[in-house]
Structure formats: structure tokens, C-alpha cells
């Protein structure tokens, strides 16, 4: 066996079955995971920094997973500095609500969002102006993989960072990455003209190196998604994820203000322009957050009542721990654990949901 070597930390750029492609310096090594890491249940994902050993061997090994700075759950990628929310202006149609949901999810994860409006060659000027007004508080790029418009700005935005492109299927994420790195030929798919939706062409997250004017950066292509659940917020917290509310937050007459009533008590309502799609969507999201919050509260009191009835104290603690430690576990494993704990015949799907905090991640 080789002895550990210094400075052999690399970046996981792709995973296929049990093999990981790890970039180190100018090279990419196809590696396997050391057995003890596998046994410890380490879940290595694209974006992870790992320590390699046995570089000269036919199959180098990942000996250690280095500490993560951040984890995004959907798309599943570690250590990204920013999330580029890709939305086409047409084919599929521009969808402000999906942008607002993604912005909320990204900000909630503590990551930096950048709005990237794609297919700018199909853009009508009125829509372009409207988008710029609505999303003025966010970094925003307009790009076209077709005409090349805006690609230099995009390259600039990607330098010296690790980024991920996230968005619906068919908006042109893979097409953009292909344009950014001429060596790539990632598969792209047609948009269904009738439905205006993509074909879910990309199936796995993969990182690609982009070079520009002597600098470099990494960008992850990712599978498109259609549904996006909201993070488990308290209704009163939602406004904290609206940077346009920030100058007035804390100045409303009541501390638990939801910024929805034009009654003179709300400083946010008085301060912002409420005649916007952003604000209209805020009210819709607030409604959804309130409903989900109520459902969570109802199911957690139901869970508690069932737990008290069905299991003893030690087992009860084990179940409650699932709520906090369960993040890394699969739904199936959680279900098996729950089955071990007691007679859970009475547990319905809704209650299982409350034990599975991964569900609301994007």
C-alpha cells in the first residue's frame, strides 16, 4: 500500500455507479471509494473535495471526504458558491413563480442566487424590460446559447467559483455548458412544442471546467425538474427571504407582521411597489407556507400522540431523533427504522412525511 501523500485533494466532478471522476491539477482520475468510507456510510457527491491515495495504481482511491462548505439537495451538489437559476424567456414560457420558488429555496440554503434568462435570441423587448424591473434586486444575466449573446458575462460570473445551473427541463442548461467549454458535447433535447416542456435529457449532475482570460471556474450541469416544494418556513419568516423588503423589515407596527394588509401598520407594504408580480407571488407563497405550516403542526401533534400511545420512552426518543438525524438517510431506511421501533401500522404517509426533512429541499 502507498503511504498517504500530501496535497492530493481533488474535486469530484462526476459519479457513475461506484466510480468517481476526480479532478486534480490538470488531470481527471477515475477513482473508487475506500472500503472503510463506504462502511461508514459516507455519501460522496459531485462538488465534494476528497483526499486521494494510490494515484499511480490502476484505480486510485478516495481515502477521505474533506469537510463540506455547503450542500444543495436538489440538484444534489456540494460546495457550490452560487446557484444560477436558468429560465428561458420562451420555449418553455418564462415562469416568474418558478423563479420566485427557486430564489426562496436558494436563499434559504444560504447560497447566492444569480438569475440567468436563457434563449435571449427569442426575447421580446417588452418582456426583457419587465424582467429587469421585477428582479432588479438580484444579479441577472440574459444569455443565448444559440446566438452567443451574454456568454462572456456568464463566463465572467463563473470565474474562480463553483456554480450550478438549476432550472426546469428544456431551458437550455446543457446547451449553455456546451457553449462555455468547446470540448464538451453534452446531450441536449428538443422542447415539446405542444406542451412547451423539456424531455429531461440530463440525468446526472456533472461539473465542468470553464476557462476565460487566464482564469478558470467550475460549473455543474444538472437534471431539470418540474416540482419544487417550499422550505419548512414559519409564515412570519417568509419576508426575510425578500431582499426588496429588507429596508423596511423591523419597522412594521407588529413584530409578527406578514406584510399582506394595506392598513398603515405595515412598513413593507408602504415602502415597496406592491403592483408587481413578485409581490403577488409573495402573497401566493405566503398562503402556501401558512397551509404547510398548519399541516406540519397538526401532524406533529398527531405523531406525538401516537408515539406516546405506541412506544415506551427509549423508543420514543429514537423516533424523535429520526427527525433531526434522518436528513442523510433514505426514505426506505427511515421506514425500516420506524418499523423496528414499534407498531407503526397507524402511521400514514403524511406522518412519514413529517419525519423526512429532505422532502422540501429543491
Interaction site with ligand GTP (CB under 6 A): 118-119, 121-122, 144-146, 169-175, 188-191, 198-202, 223-224
Handedness of CA 188, 14, 165, 361 (dihedral sign): positive
Q: CA-to-CA distance for 71 and 76, rounded, in angstroms?
A: 7
Do residues 138 and 195 touch, judged by C-beta distance below 8 A?
no
Minimum CB distance to ligand GTP, residue 134 (Å): 21
Minimum CB distance to Zn ion, residue 234 (Å): 15
Site residues (CB under 5 A) for Mg ion, limited to 138-177: 173-174
Site residues (CB under 5 A) for Mg ion, limited to 289-328: none
Q: Tell me: does residue 272 bind Zn ion (CB under 5 A).
A: no
**In this complex, which beta carbon is closest to Zn ion, that of residue 283 or of residue 305?**
283
Minimum CB distance to Mg ion, residue 213 (Å): 26
Nearest to 32 by CA among 205, 219, 42: 42
- The entry of ligand GTP, Zn ion, Mg ion, none near residue 172 (CB within 5 to 8 angstroms by kind) is ligand GTP
Minimum CB distance to Zn ion, residue 250 (Å): 9
Q: CA-to-CA distance for 43 and 329, rounded, in angstroms?
A: 10
Q: CA-to-CA distance for 93 and 168, rounded, in angstroms?
A: 11
Out of 202, 269, 281, 356, the residue judged to bind Mg ion by CB under 5 A = 202
Out of 11, 12, 145, 268, the residue judged to bind Zn ion by CB under 5 A = 268
- The entry of ligand GTP, Zn ion, Mg ion, none near residue 199 (CB within 5 to 8 angstroms by kind) is ligand GTP
Give the contacts of 31 (CB within 8 A, at least 6 positions apart).
Answer: 19, 20, 21, 22, 50, 52, 59, 60, 61, 62
Minimum CB distance to ligand GTP, residue 203 (Å): 8
# of chain residues touching Zn ion (CB under 5 A): 5
**In this complex, which beta carbon is closest to Mg ion, that of residue 150 or of residue 223?**
223
Q: CA-to-CA distance for 136 and 354, rounded, in angstroms?
A: 36
Q: CA-to-CA distance for 106 and 109, rounded, in angstroms?
A: 5
- The entry of ligand GTP, Zn ion, Mg ion, none near residue 175 (CB within 5 to 8 angstroms by kind) is ligand GTP
Out of 72, 89, 142, 266, the residue judged to bind Zn ion by CB under 5 A = 266
Do residues 151 and 179 touch, judged by C-beta distance below 8 A?
yes
Give the contacts of 171 (CB within 8 A, at least 6 positions apart).
Answer: 86, 87, 88, 92, 118, 119, 198, 224
Out of 62, 65, 257, 286, the residue judged to bind Zn ion by CB under 5 A = 257
Q: CA-to-CA distance for 258 and 287, rounded, in angstroms?
A: 11
Do residues 199 and 170 touch, judged by C-beta distance below 8 A?
yes
Binding site for Mg ion (CB under 5 A): 173-174, 201-202
Binding site for Zn ion (CB under 5 A): 252, 257, 259, 266, 268
Amino acid at each position: 500500500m502507498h503511504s498517504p501523500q500530501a496535497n492530493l485533494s481533488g474535486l469530484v466532478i462526476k459519479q457513475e455507479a461506484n466510480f468517481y471522476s476526480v479532478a486534480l491539477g490538470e488531470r481527471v482520475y477515475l477513482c473508487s471509494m475506500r472500503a472503510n468510507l463506504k462502511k461508514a456510510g459516507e455519501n460522496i457527491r459531485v462538488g465534494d473535495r476528497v483526499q486521494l491515495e494510490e494515484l499511480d495504481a490502476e484505480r486510485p482511491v478516495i481515502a477521505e471526504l474533506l469537510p463540506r462548505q455547503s450542500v444543495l439537495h436538489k440538484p444534489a451538489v456540494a460546495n457550490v458558491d452560487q446557484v444560477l437559476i436558468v429560465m428561458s424567456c420562451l420555449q418553455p414560457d418564462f415562469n416568474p413563480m418558478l423563479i420566485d420558488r427557486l430564489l426562496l429555496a436558494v436563499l434559504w440554503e444560504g447560497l447566492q442566487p444569480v438569475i440567468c434568462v436563457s434563449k435571449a435570441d427569442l426575447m421580446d423587448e417588452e418582456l426583457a424590460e419587465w424582467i429587469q424591473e421585477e428582479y432588479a434586486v438580484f444579479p441577472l444575466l440574459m444569455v443565448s446559447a444559440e446566438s452567443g449573446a451574454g456568454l462572456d458575462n456568464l463566463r465572467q460570473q463563473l470565474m474562480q467559483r463553483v456554480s450550478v445551473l438549476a432550472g426546469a427541463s428544456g431551458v437550455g442548461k446543457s446547451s449553455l455548458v456546451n457553449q462555455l467549454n468547446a470540448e464538451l458535447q453534452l446531450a441536449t433535447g428538443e422542447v415539446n412544442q405542444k406542451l412547451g416542456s423539456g424531455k429531461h435529457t440530463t440525468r446526472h449532475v456533472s461539473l465542468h471546467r470553464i476557462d476565460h482570460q487566464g482564469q478558470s471556474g467550475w460549473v455543474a450541469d444538472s437534471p431539470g425538474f418540474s416540482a419544487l416544494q417550499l422550505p419548512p418556513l414559519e409564515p412570519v419568516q417568509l419576508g426575510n427571504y425578500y431582499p426588496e423588503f429588507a429596508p423596511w423589515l423591523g419597522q412594521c407596527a407588529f413584530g409578527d407582521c406578514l406584510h399582506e394588509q394595506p392598513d398603515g401598520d405595515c412598513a413593507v407594504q408602504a415602502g415597496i411597489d406592491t403592483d408587481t408580480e413578485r409581490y403577488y407571488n409573495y402573497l401566493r407563497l405566503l398562503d402556501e407556507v401558512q397551509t404547510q405550516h398548519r399541516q406540519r403542526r397538526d401532524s406533529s401533534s398527531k405523531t406525538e400522540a401516537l408515539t406516546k400511545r405506541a412506544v415506551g420512552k427509549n423508543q420514543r426518543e429514537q423516533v424523535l431523533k429520526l427527525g433531526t438525524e434522518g436528513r442523510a438517510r433514505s426514505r426506505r431506511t427511515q421506514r425500516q427504522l420506524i418499523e423496528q421501533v414499534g407498531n407503526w401500522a397507524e402511521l400514514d404517509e403524511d406522518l412519514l412525511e413529517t419525519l423526512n426533512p429532505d422532502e422540501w429541499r429543491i
